[in-house]
Amino acid sequence: MTPFSILVVLLMVLFIINNPISSTSAYPQTKHIFLLAGQSNMAGFGGVVNDTWDHVVPPECRRNPNILRLNPKLKWKVAKEPLNEGVDRWPNGIGPGMPFANALLQKIPNYGTIGLVPCSVSGTKIIDWQKGTDLYDMLVTRAQAAMKNENRNGSNNTIEALLWYQGESDTKNQTGAYAYKGRLQQFILDLRSDLNLPDLLVIQVALASGIIDYLEVIRQAQLHTDLPNVKCVDAMGLQLQPDNIHLSTCGEIALGNLLADAFINN
């Protein structure tokens, strides 16, 4: 090899080191965006015991270069568990997001790149998500950042759906429970308006747990939202942790598959 050839090879190596090829480059590919919002069961508490995650990642939650996550700094990175890390104030573990995305890629060949936008915060009530609140503003900001045009071909990222799992905190008192349906409807209408997505698909989850006195009130509001393009999957019967509030890892994986089927069959 001539000295010139050696120099060319060295320059190529230096270029590769300083410009790694990855799905998080300055011009990432077009993505199918899914917003994930709500409280702890959407944030993911699978494998969390005494505020500590066991770090067990099942195959259904595996990393995939075609599944990206919008991190707290609004940058796209290859997604990994815990998906909601850095967004919530509590430790998170396995949630439904990664099983959902992996199921989509398995069931829809050549679907492309999925962009997950975790926005869940544990212990929140529906009133905490109304327009004008910090949580609502955070959700809108992250959704708008996810849609930002960063593609060489000029195409836009598309928000396919909001995956919503919230309501356990609203089962604690009668007033909040009976106001839930109207507040949920207003939240969806405001979000669609502010994102300029009037037909945004919302796939919400009917509660698996909560304070028994008002659990069914919330569930009925979720099962019968009375808004177009809102679907509901029922988490009742999915495996819970010993606290009877949070889904287990198996329960979260099952929920992710239910959400994927609901999206595919929409």
Catalytic residue among 88, 169, 246, 248: 246
Helices (H), the chain: 3-18, 40-43, 97-107, 134-147, 174-194, 212-223, 249-264
Give the DSSP letter string of 77-127. Answer: EE--SSTTTTTSSS---B-SHHHHHHHHHHHSTT--EEEEEE---TT--GG
Catalytic residue among 51, 199, 226, 243: 243
d(C-alpha 193, C-alpha 227), whole Å: 14
Sign of CA dihedral 121, 254, 250, 114: negative
State yes or no: is 137 an active-site residue: no
State yes or no: is 40 an active-site residue: yes
Angle between helices 249-264 and 97-107 (to 10 degrees): 40
Catalytic residue among 40, 120, 209, 248: 40
143, 193 contact by CB (below 8 A): no
Provide the annotated active-site residues.
Answer: 40, 243, 246
